[in-house]
Amino acid sequence: MNTTHVPEDILQIGESLVRFVEQDVVPIENANRALLSSDRTIYDEAGRFTPEVEALKRKVRMLSAEQGFYTMFGPEEIGGGGLGPVASVYLNGVLSAHCGPARPLIHPVVIPSPFTNGLSPVLTNLVEPLREKYLPQLASGDKTLCFGLSEPDAGSDVFAMKTRAVRDGDEWVITGSKQWITNGPYADYAMIFAVTDPELAAARKGGITGFFVDTSWAGFSVVSTIPIMGQLGAEIGILAFDGMRVPDSHRLGDVDQGLKVALRGVNNGRLGLSATCIGLARWALVQSVEYAKVRKTFGQPIGEHQAVQILLADSAADLYAAETMLMDCAIKLERGQRALAETSMVKLHCTEAANRVFDRCMQVHGGMGLTNELRLEAGYRFARSMRIPDGTSEIQRRTIARDLLSAGVNF
């Protein structure tokens, strides 16, 4: 990635991040290679991470927190490092490009998503007594978090949610369910959003409120995990609430204004996800270029064949365009500029470009590209899945078009 616009201190953090992985995380991976090398040992029969894997993830989280990486993107007002979009794009990209896919102790353990774990921007809405109680546990990596907005019938259309919260004195009673919740099956705490004014929600003018809940409370349950794309288990799951009582003190922000709360940090989240995809795509292209130099067919390296050269060249063009878009958008957000269409264009292009790059790189490797040994197929599965969360490619196109029609071509 072009580092022209990356401050020197962020470049140094990137170097420290790579050293941390090599010196602290890789030895843990190596010592537990038999456990981490297969889905059959990573997950149990119910599709959940085994206790041994969960313990290793916790260990890495806490090591990352000790070094300051785990909370470096959290808001300063709640104890985070306050690093902005440029740092997020660069550091997520560096981590992924260095480590590659299928590293269960690295993604997203070392650097958490702004919507799960660590010091989420949503937590700025916690009142002071609760900050003192909960934030240190989350910042240290000792306890984990999940973000409950999506439902079976309410993904991109959030106002279709059916989970309800009804006021009862100084408490709220929540009934409903959430689906596709990252870290949901494992979280100690959850940020749950529910309809508190059905009329406002039906009119798409609000009516949704956020709550911070302890997953050990009565009425909270994990229904199941949701294994996806060739995995025997999952990080995501389905949650249910059966009359779960939540103190009003645990409300996140104003009543009926939960979407404003939920969407804080969404831009950084989409850019971080995009950077992860493109970092992995860079890793894949590096593997393919090296392979094309040494693998021979018909008496010469396959890199000498025009068909292979086209695959490499198209991948490089996709990668260069994506990295340029990422950094340009990050700079705009860092300056406080409006970048609605640009953020959606970045999420759209980077996830789809990563998908194309992995597809081509698997083709360069031929039969070897289909094996688990090289991790390309794992990267391909990851890249394909990222075209859906944080707004599908179709929703991003809708956002882009609507912004063009209302604000004009201003990027």
pLDDT, tens only, 361-390: 999 999 999 998 899 999 999 999 999 998
Detail the DSSP E strand segments found in 183-328: 189-195, 208-214, 220-225, 236-247, 251-252, 296-297, 300-301
User: Would residue 302 count as lying in a domain?
Assistant: yes
> What is the Rg, in whole angstroms, of the alpha carbon atoms belonging to the chain?
22
pLDDT, tens only, 72-109: 999 999 999 999 999 999 999 999 999 999 999 998 89
| pLDDT surpassing 90 at residue 14 | yes
Contact 202, 246 (CB under 8 A): no
389 with 284, same domain?
yes
Q: SS3 helix, strand, coil % of the chain, rounded to 5? A: 55, 15, 30
Range of the domain at 89: 8-121
Band of pLDDT at residue 411, cut at 50, 70 and 90: confident
Model pLDDT, residue 115: 76
Band of pLDDT at residue 348, cut at 50, 70 and 90: very high
Band of pLDDT at residue 264, cut at 50, 70 and 90: confident
Band of pLDDT at residue 1, cut at 50, 70 and 90: confident
Contact 192, 213 (CB under 8 A): yes
Model pLDDT, residue 380: 97
70 with 93, same domain?
yes
The enclosing domain of 54 has a CATH number of 1.10.540
Residue 186 CB contacts under 8 Å (≥ 6 apart), including other chains: 48, 49, 54, 144, 146, 235
Number of domains in the chain: 3
pTM: 0.95
User: Would residue 131 count as lying in a domain?
Assistant: no
251 with 375, same domain?
no
Do the strands 300-301 and 296-297 form a parallel or antiparallel pair, or are they unpaired? Answer: antiparallel
Give the residue-averaged pLDDT of 313-336: 97
Give the residue-averaged pLDDT of 146-171: 95
| pLDDT surpassing 90 at residue 297 | yes
